[in-house]
Structure 1
Amino acid sequence: MSAQQDALLAHLPADAPELALAGQPDTTPDVVDGMAYAKLYGEPLFKLPTDLYIPPDALEVFLEAFQGPLDLLLYLIRKQNFNILDIPMAQVTRQYLDYVDQIRVRNLELAAEYLLMAAMLIEIKSRMLLPVKKADTGEEAEDPRAELVRRLLEYEQMKVAAQELDALPQLGRDYVRAQIYIEQNVVTRWPEVSMSELQAVWADILKRAKLTAHHTISREELSVREHMTGILRRLQSARFVEFADLFDPSRGVPVVIVNFIALLELAKETLIEITQAEAFAPIYVRLAYSPT
């Protein structure tokens, strides 16, 4: 379908049928099965209008496929397999100016940037027509195309890098971030504890409790007079009592000491006698002998 037909269909609703090709007779019926074949602004259309006006600009298609003058130059060079280090300036400049002439007619603001590059190409072409002069140092002068080649190579590197970056997966374009909903009211599951672990912990607690326990000394009141009376009562029922039998170690050291003091008091008051048959023989205690 030609551009003229596209422009014609643009003035009709989306449900209108395709028009006849340009230069061919219109075979579209005025009425299809007794019904209109199109609607224009809600009204049925039974026949194509004869006074349909199509602006000249509607039949022209312009694609701005280049990102700037360097992009256009690089396209012209790569399309024709030119050596970028040895650019044929005449051919490239001619093709470049043809493109600039097309965009200058329709978009002067867009053509301004391209015109600047066109002036640079014409300058390079003019400098190449002049005789080559050597520099003051005796070396050959730099190629007028050197600066343009450097800019083209840098632009090509940046363009390739941009294409590689664009090929990487991008969020929202190539993939979406997965999102899940986590229920907050989750029952906490505590780890299970075995009986052996509880026993080990309890034994450790008891061990630390013993190490930090305080020794409390309680005060106990003991009467020497009561122990003296108890010794005299015991000696009255026996004639001789061995010295060691008068003490009860199970009652504790304090009681044994008080009992020994009571025994010494009774001996001091001559109420008892402490006797021994011979050296290293057992010691006996008895009541003191008093003559009648």
Structure 2
Amino acid sequence: MSRQHIAEPTGDALELAVAGQADSTPDVIDGVGFARLYGEPLFQLPTDLYIPPDALEVFLEAFEGPLDLLLYLIRKQNFNILDIPMAQVTRQYLEYVDQIRVHNLELAAEYLLMAAMLIEIKSRMLLPAKQAEAGEEAQDPRAELVRRLLEYEQMKLAAFELNALPQLGRDFVRTQIYIEQSIVTRWPEVHVADLQAAWADVFKRARLIQHHKISREELSVREHMTGILRRLQSAKFVEFADLFDPSRGAPVLVVNFIALLELAKETLIEITQAEAFAPIYVRLAYSPT
């Protein structure tokens, strides 16, 4: 149920304000006005001053429904909720209902329903109690009302505790920070020792299958560099050992290895590996457009 404020015009205050029009108070007291209007001193009341009847109001206690009002009356006077004095509580409750009927008849309907229930409970308490069956106590007419009041009080306390917890937007705000970050893949660097070990393995296998053949052959480093680049253009990654053909003999392997080093020196290729102790791969150097 929505929270409401019950206002009541005070007749004495209204009469005093109206009577102030004919008051004999001097217009100026020691050079100081008796009131301020929009920050400016007011030395004389206007002759056409009109105060509406509802201008002066007294705000009473605010309640969220009939159970809230009933619980307030019981707790304010320290009544035992398990032994409610129905006559006194009902009289106070009806006094409050008479006040809200003047201002909000629709809202008073909810409170009138509870008032009818209180009157019914009081009338049942005045009647002789019904005889209960053997071994059972007579049921108290206030039992159902007490149960509802206790449940409502528990829910109200739980709501108060939840409201006391920090809430986003009321007690604190969430900080948001935007960071622009570009993700660039960084491959592990190949150490010289790893490159030497890979070359020693290739050279060792070349010696195992080489044939004794005496011949004179002119080998061009630039030609082998061109062959390696052509080989890498057709594949993204090529394993280091696949760039060498052991069947062509050790001299060709040496020249091919020198060509590979020259390409790396001129940053035309990149020698990399996925992780430590992983196979070594060769690829064309990345050049941003």
Equivalent of residue 159 in structure 1, options 138, 152, 156: 156
Q: CA-to-partner distance for each residue in 1:127-186, whole Å, 9 max, x for gaps?
A: 111111123456232111111111111111111111111101111111121233435479
Give the superposition deviation at 1:100. 0.5
Give the superposition deviation at 1:105. 1.0
1:264-275, aligned counterparts within 5 Å? none
Equivalent of residue 174 in structure 1, options 161, 167, 171: 171
1:96-115, aligned counterparts within 5 Å? 96-115=93-112
Where does the alignment leave 5 or more consecutive residues of structure 1 unmatched? 9-19, 221-292
Aligned residue in 2 for 1:198? 191
1:1-292, aligned counterparts within 5 Å? 25-29=24-28, 38=37, 47-63=44-60, 65-136=62-133, 139-184=136-181, 198-202=191-195, 205-206=198-199
Q: Is the 8 A contact 2:130 2:138 kept in 1?
A: yes
| Distance in 2 between residues matched to 1:89 and 1:179, nearest whole Å | 57
| Distance in 2 between residues matched to 1:166 and 1:190, nearest whole Å | 51
Q: CA-to-partner distance for each residue in 1:253-283, whole Å, 9 max, x for gaps?
A: xxxxxxxxxxxxxxxxxxxxxxxxxxxxxxx
| Structure 1 residues 7 and 93, CA gap change in structure 2 (3 angstroms) | same
Q: CA-to-partner distance for each residue in 1:82-128, whole Å, 9 max, x for gaps?
A: 11111111111111111000001110011111111111111111111
**AA matched with 1:202:** L
Q: CA-to-partner distance for each residue in 1:236-256, whole Å, 9 max, x for gaps?
A: xxxxxxxxxxxxxxxxxxxxx
| Distance in 2 between residues matched to 1:214 and 1:64, nearest whole Å | 104
**AA matched with 1:159:** K
Q: Is the 8 A contact 1:100 1:114 kept in 2?
A: yes
Q: Is the 8 A contact 2:21 2:47 kept in 1?
A: no
TM-score (norm 2): 0.55
Q: Is the 8 A contact 2:14 2:53 kept in 1?
A: no
Identity value in percent: 66
Q: Is the 8 A contact 2:21 2:45 kept in 1?
A: no
Give the superposition deviation at 1:38. 4.9
Q: Is the 8 A contact 1:133 1:140 kept in 2?
A: no
| Structure 1 residues 210 and 85, CA gap change in structure 2 (3 angstroms) | farther
Give the superposition deviation at 1:3. 7.2
Q: Relative to structure 2, which stretch is displaced further, 141-150 or 129-138?
A: 129-138
Q: Is the 8 A contact 2:70 2:93 kept in 1?
A: yes
Q: Is the 8 A contact 2:27 2:43 kept in 1?
A: no
**AA matched with 2:25:** D
| Distance in 2 between residues matched to 1:91 and 1:104, nearest whole Å | 20
Q: Is the 8 A contact 2:100 2:108 kept in 1?
A: yes
TM-score (norm 1): 0.54
| Distance in 1 between residues matched to 2:49 and 2:154, nearest whole Å | 51
| Distance in 1 between residues matched to 2:22 and 2:13, nearest whole Å | 15
Q: Which has the larger radius of gyration?
A: 1
| Structure 1 residues 53 and 23, CA gap change in structure 2 (3 angstroms) | closer
| Distance in 2 between residues matched to 1:135 and 1:72, nearest whole Å | 33
Where does the alignment leave 5 or more consecutive residues of structure 2 unmatched? 1-8, 214-289
| Structure 1 residues 38 and 123, CA gap change in structure 2 (3 angstroms) | closer
